[in-house]
Amino acid sequence: MSRRLSLFDLDNTLLSCDSDYEWGNFLVESGMLDAAEYATKNQLFYDQYKAGTLDIHEYLEFALRPLSENTPEDLARMHSRFMSERIVPSITYRARALVKDHLGSGALCALVTATNSFVTAPIAAEFGIQNLIATEPEVLHGRFTGRSAGEPCFREGKVRRVTQWLATLGRTFEDFDESTFYSDSHNDLPLMTRVKSPVAVDPDPALLLESRLRGWTVISLRVS
């Protein structure tokens, strides 16, 4: 049983973009959403996220709606293009190497993200990470409803969702000799303060300041 726990944020951490934001833009540019209505709101919510003022429930009502308006077949086809055109090019070799190193060490690894699991499950698979802890979109009769199911994996919700996941394995944070969480965002401070070795990755200004005050490791996964 592994004594190492390695947790990874996704957007602007392992990726050099925000997958949720880019998914919305991709749908607009593909003609599946009205640009005038969607793109403006998408940018507004993204700005609120960066500022730490995002109402996650209001955002999810907006972000999950397109899933309910398209068939699973059309969504799968669009996501395949999204992966090849937007996501894979935003994965640096440093990000791949970091994940590979943790997986190779035998650590228990998980991708922990506020972005919904429809968008992020294929990305977790691209990294070879088997455990995904994400916001879950509700599904009824094989179709997305446009609502979320359970607690969003955001801010303090990330801590609770990881705690619940560990409980299903019969484990707690305290069972690990080493625990690490990699993130770029001040929104992830609740989970960063829960692990033994938080690492700020290309951090936003608020997280950079907090990391310096607390003496946390700061790294970059971007390719100069």
Interval 108-150: pLDDT, tens: 999 999 999 999 999 999 999 999 999 999 999 999 999 999 9
Contacts by 104-108, CB closer than 8 A, 24 or more apart: 105/4, 105/6, 106/2, 106/4, 107/2, 107/4, 107/5, 107/6, 107/178, 108/2, 108/4, 108/5, 108/6, 108/169, 108/176
Identify the CATH number of the domain in which residue 120 sits: 3.40.50.1000
Asked if pLDDT for residue 1 goes beyond 90, the answer is: no
- The answer as to whether 14 is a domain residue is yes
Q: Does residue 11 have an active-site annotation?
A: yes
Residue 218, number of CB atoms within 10 A of its CB: 13
- The answer as to whether 113 is a domain residue is yes
Please, what is the average pLDDT of the chain?
95
Instruction: Give me the pLDDT at residue 49, please.
Output: 92
- The answer as to whether 67 is a domain residue is yes
Its domain, for residue 108, covers: 4-219
Average pLDDT over residues 154-160: 98
Instruction: Give me the pLDDT at residue 35, please.
Output: 81
- The answer as to whether 117 is a domain residue is yes
This prediction's pTM: 0.96
Average pLDDT over residues 85-105: 97
Write the secondary structure of 35-50 as one string of H (helix), E (strand) and C (coil).
Answer: HHHHHHHHHHHHHHHH
Residue 156, number of CB atoms within 10 A of its CB: 12
- The answer as to whether 224 is a domain residue is no
For the record, the structure tokens of 167 come out as 């409980």
- The answer as to whether 213 is a domain residue is yes
Asked if pLDDT for residue 224 goes beyond 80, the answer is: no
- The answer as to whether 96 is a domain residue is yes
- The answer as to whether 42 is a domain residue is yes
From 9, 184, 188, 204, the catalytic residue? 9
Q: Does residue 198 contact residue 181 with C-beta atoms inside 8 Å?
A: yes
Structural domains of the chain, count = 1
Cα(93)–Cα(121) distance, rounded to whole angstroms? Answer: 20
Average pLDDT over residues 26-31: 90
Asked if pLDDT for residue 42 goes beyond 90, the answer is: no
With pLDDT > 70 as the criterion, what percentage of the chain qualifies? 100
Strands (DSSP E) found in the chain: 4-8, 108-116, 132-140, 143-149, 178-183, 197-201, 217-219
Range with the poorest average pLDDT among 35-44, 116-125, 179-188 = 35-44
From 11, 184, 188, 204, the catalytic residue? 11
In this predicted model, what pLDDT tens digit does every residue of 57-74 receive, in sequence order? 999 999 999 999 999 999
